[in-house]
Amino acid sequence: MKIIGWDGRYDGYENREARLVYRDGKMMLWISKKIPRPKPYQPRDTIAVDINERKIVYGDHVINKEMDTNFDEAHRWKKLAEDLQKKYSSPRYLAWRRRKAILNRIRSYHRKARNILEDWARKTSLRIVEPAKRLGHAVAREDLKGLINSLRKIKNKDHRTKLIIMGYSRLVKWIDWQAMKHVVPLAIVNPSGTSSECPKCDSKLEENGYRRLKCPRCGFEADRDVIRKLNIRKRALKKLKIKVIPGGSLTTPTAPK
What's the confidence (pLDDT) of residue 26? 81
Q: Is residue 217 in a domain?
A: yes
Task: Kindly state the average pLDDT of the residues 106-111.
Answer: 94
Confidence of residue 3 (pLDDT cuts 50, 70, 90): low
In a domain, 46, yes or no: yes
Residue 170 within any structural domain of the chain:
yes
What is the rounded CA–CA span in Å between residue 76 and residue 206?
Answer: 36
Q: Domain of 101?
A: 8-240
pLDDT at 251 over 70: no
What residues contact residue 194 under an 8 Å CB cut-off, 6+ apart?
50, 142, 227, 228, 231, 232, 235
Q: How many domains in the chain?
A: 1
Give residue-wise pLDDT tens across range 113-133.
Answer: 999 999 999 999 999 999 999
Q: Which of 16-20, 24-28, 88-92 shows the highest mean pLDDT?
A: 16-20
29 domain-assigned: yes
In a domain, 124, yes or no: yes
Report the pLDDT averaged over residues 239-250. 68
Whole-model pTM: value is 0.81
pLDDT-based confidence at residue 252 (cuts at 50, 70, 90): very low
Instruction: Flag whether 202 is in a domain.
Output: yes
| 252 within some domain | no
Q: Is residue 246 part of a domain?
A: no
The string of pLDDT tens digits covering residues 83-93 is 998 888 877 77
CA distance 121 to 127: 10
